[in-house]
Amino acid sequence: MKNNNNLLNNNYIQNNNQIINNNKNTEGQLKNPTIDGNTPGNNMNKQYDVIILGTGLKECILAALLSTFSKREKAPWEIGKKILQLDRNNYYGSESASLNLTNLWKYFGKKNEYPKQYGKNINWNVDLIPKFIMANGSLVKILLKTNVSKYFDWKSVDRSFIYQFIKGGLFNKAKGKIHMVPNTISEAFKSDYIGSLEKNKCKKFLEFIIDYEINNPNTQKGLGPDIPFNDIIKIYGLEQRTVEFIGHVIALYTNDYFLESKAITAIDKLKLYKNSFGLYGKSPFIYPLSGLGRLSEGFARLCSLNGGSYILNRDIEEILYDENYHFRGIKSEGEEIYGKILITEPSYVQKWSKSKSLGIILERICILDHPIPKINYVNSFQIILPQRQINRKNDIFIHFFDYTYLVCQKGYYIAIISTIVEHPNDNPNFEIGPAMDLIGPVLETFDKFRNIYDPIDIFLGENIYITSSYDQQCHFENDIDDVINIYEKITGSKLDLNLGK
């Protein structure tokens, strides 16, 4: 895809034959960014400024940001001299990793090796979580600010679709219909998802949203930023299907709770979609070639260039405290390693009951040998199944990619279905049945039930910071808010994402 604005890097993909491999080994994984050569039991340094557990995207962004913090002008303190990041896995990315077939089969406990018909390991990079990147979102701003975007190549996600359930009648059977999300005004007026009269009301509503400024009452028409968003919906008299389209397709909420949220929260999400739309293609989303795991690897590389050390295949047994219950280090494989600050993903401290579950996400990875029926002309896309259309409390998402995104062998396709579990004791097919009906026959399925953990106390004792789990939204914006919050708590400094500075 051609990068019209040349924002992300100078090697942006223009066609599928111009892919640049950025220091990858024979398995398609980033070369180990550990620069000091230390391994367990090999005279590893005992004292660090920051110890980080897990190499997920959040933890790797924090490592990269903190490693550069001490080099900035007027930094209130030096934090980035020595950073150690451990991971119990043999790959980077933790929950946000992209796995080759060998690691995919191992991760899901399959005893046999993957079938040889699927080709080479190097051609597979399967995401464990289904996420896109908002083209004008905070993650892109961090990528640009840190220049990590230069480490990989990008493509836009082609389209978005929305599912509608149509009731049966005397002469017609009940069926599901997939509507393409309009890219232009002309497409919007051709779409039959929203009625003709309703389109004009929707247009006026969205014009109001675009003009809305939180600090300018003249743009608010008496509808202040703290009122429930539903109050604005009622003023414009929008029908349920229009509200569904606005809330679930544009604002990208996963359920209807947004109606009771503050108006400004929903307005900001609608503006983000609008400002991301069309920057690089026909959707607001972009995606790194070879999978989301490349993001963690890119930030790890930046940290390593600033002196950070990385050790894979290593877990911890204990968190160490001083007499005042302040963090002083960790015990790993019987060895004590000391640090001033600990940052950890929730799985490393769950056994000490330091985080709570807010729910469970079901993610089903599917390997297909065919495009999804009726959408066989699009290389990548998202299908949103809104909760009301499938008689649920939460939406179902389908993410789809073909081989041109370097996630699978040519001739195969990856579809990832995700939703919040509403019936924990039922068969997973009950949770995602409508989505499975859409994608057709599958060659392989891999089911993951993932707890959404939130820290009971983000400051688990002095100088310990726990990230939250990745949420069910189809993008990283809430996850990056978590990163920014922790960064600013640690440094006492606002994270400046202004590219002009």
Angle (CA) 294-299-305 rounded to 5° is: 125
Q: Would you say residue 446 lies in a domain?
A: no
Give the span between the Cα atoms of 369 and 414, in whole angstroms.
9
Q: Would you say residue 175 lies in a domain?
A: no
pLDDT of residue 362: 96
Pairing of strands 154-156, 98-99: unpaired
Give the span between the Cα atoms of 340 and 20, in whole angstroms.
39
Q: State the CB neighbour count (10 A cutoff) for residue 399.
A: 24
| Residues composing the chain | 501
Q: Would you say residue 164 lies in a domain?
A: no
User: Strand, helix or coil at 53?
Assistant: strand
User: Strand, helix or coil at 246?
Assistant: helix
Residue where one domain finishes, among candidates 234, 254, 276: 276
| DSSP conformation letters of 153-214 | -EEE--EEEEEEEE---SSS--EEEEEEPPSSHHHHHH-SSS-HHHHHHHHHHHHHHHH--T
User: Do 316 and 342 share a domain, yes or no?
Assistant: yes
User: Do 459 and 351 share a domain, yes or no?
Assistant: yes
Q: Would you say residue 189 lies in a domain?
A: no
Match 């891999």 to its residue by tokens.
446
Task: Name residues whose C-beta falls within 8 Å of residue 374's C-beta, 6 or more positions apart in sequence.
Answer: 178
User: Do 463 and 350 share a domain, yes or no?
Assistant: yes
Side-chain half-sphere exposure of 472, counting CA atoms within 13 A: 26
Q: Would you say residue 92 lies in a domain?
A: yes
- The CATH code of the domain that includes 201 is 1.10.405.10
Q: Would you say residue 84 lies in a domain?
A: yes
Q: Can you give the three-state secondary structure of 364-429, one letter per residue?
A: EEEEECCCCCCCCCCCEEEEEECHHHHCCCCCEEEEEECHHHCCCCCCCEEEEEEEECCCCCCCHH
User: Do 212 and 349 share a domain, yes or no?
Assistant: no
Instruction: Tell me how many domains the chain contains.
Output: 2
pLDDT of residue 175: 72
Report residue 57: phi and psi, to 5°.
-55, -45
Identify the domain containing residue 74 by its residue range.
47-153+289-355+454-491
Match 């397709």 to its residue by tokens.
249
User: Do 478 and 341 share a domain, yes or no?
Assistant: yes
User: Do 256 and 351 share a domain, yes or no?
Assistant: no
User: Do 246 and 310 share a domain, yes or no?
Assistant: no
Note every long-range contact of 316-321, with CB atoms under 8 Å and residues 24 or more positions apart, other chains counting.
316/53, 316/86, 316/348, 319/349, 319/352, 319/464, 321/461
- The CATH code of the domain that includes 147 is 3.50.50.60
Q: Would you say residue 395 lies in a domain?
A: no
User: Do 103 and 53 share a domain, yes or no?
Assistant: yes
Task: Name residues whose C-beta falls within 8 Å of residue 500's C-beta, 6 or more positions apart in sequence.
Answer: none
pLDDT of residue 185: 61
Give the Å distances, CA to CA, from 79 to 25, 399, 458: 32, 39, 19
User: Do 65 and 147 share a domain, yes or no?
Assistant: yes
pLDDT of residue 72: 57
Match 């232009």 to its residue by tokens.
184
User: Do 104 and 233 share a domain, yes or no?
Assistant: no
User: Strand, helix or coil at 433?
Assistant: helix
| Exposed e or buried b per residue across 46-56, where buried means at least 16 C-beta atoms within 10 angstroms of its C-beta | eebbbbbbbbb
Question: Could you say which DSSP state residue 314 is in?
Answer: -
Q: Would you say residue 325 lies in a domain?
A: yes
Task: Name residues whose C-beta falls within 8 Å of residue 67's C-beta, 6 or more positions apart in sequence.
Answer: 80, 83, 302, 303, 306, 307, 308
Residue where one domain finishes, among candidates 214, 246, 276: 276
Residuewise pLDDT in 10s, the chain (501 residues): 334 334 454 333 322 222 223 333 333 344 444 433 333 334 457 899 999 999 999 999 999 999 987 655 454 455 557 899 999 999 999 999 999 999 999 999 998 899 999 999 999 999 999 999 999 999 999 999 999 999 989 999 999 999 998 765 555 666 788 998 887 666 766 777 888 888 889 989 999 999 999 999 999 999 999 999 999 999 999 999 999 999 999 999 999 999 999 999 999 999 999 999 878 878 899 999 999 999 999 999 999 998 899 999 999 999 998 888 889 999 999 999 999 999 999 988 877 767 788 899 999 999 999 999 888 789 999 999 999 999 999 999 999 999 999 999 999 999 999 999 998 776 888 899 999 999 999 999 999 999 998 887 655 557 889 999 999 999 999 999 999 999 999 888 899 888 765
Q: Which amino acid is at 358?
A: L
Residue where one domain finishes, among candidates 276, 305, 339: 276
User: Do 57 and 100 share a domain, yes or no?
Assistant: yes
User: Do 148 and 296 share a domain, yes or no?
Assistant: yes
